[in-house]
Structure 1
Amino acid sequence: MHDPEDASFEDEAFDPDDVVWVRGVDYVTGWRNATDAGAELAEALAAAGFDTTGLEWRARANGDGSGAVRLVLSAAAAHEVAALMRAVARLGKVG
């Protein structure tokens, strides 16, 4: 799994919104929410039997303060996640 606080996330392009902070925007809450969501997603994938050793995720706060999670998977892992989602859809259960 990728450490969300690791600064080396190589394929990330420069985004000016990442360096401009606006007074009054609560970036910490957005980042914290994204950190929790990323960990929850990784735990859910592991519980579903997904091999999370190659999973990389990074939490961030967007320019408006909302949280976002960036997820990087190999092509094989993406196919596996897609199969898991289709199985859930067939069961008709989400949440």
Structure 2
Amino acid sequence: MALPVLTPEQRAEALAKAAEARKARSELLSAVKSGELSIAAVLAKAETDDTVKKTKVTALLKALPGVGPVKAAELLEELSIAETRRIGGLGANQRQALIHAADA
């Protein structure tokens, strides 16, 4: 699939939108890392926020205090969640299992 040809204005707009999404995602993960937001709060926020929906579950788990790449991979394996899954793509059972695993 070929990429569409964008005008300079469209390209600048897309770059600004992408930068805004990266900043919002970074702030979200920082809030999780500092303990301001819980997994349950992030999942609730995903109902209305597209940026949260597009955040990978792996990144969310790695933002938890005491969880690194290995522990995050183990949790995903245990919960039967693909590493490439995004928060918006989680099913109801996966959401509940993720909340329960994060609290444990």
TM-score range, shorter chain: 0.3 to 0.5
Higher relative contact order (CA 8 A, sep 6+): 1
TM-score normalised per structure 2: 0.31
TM-score normalised per structure 1: 0.33
User: Which has more strand, going by share of residues?
Assistant: 1
User: Which has more helix, going by share of residues?
Assistant: 2
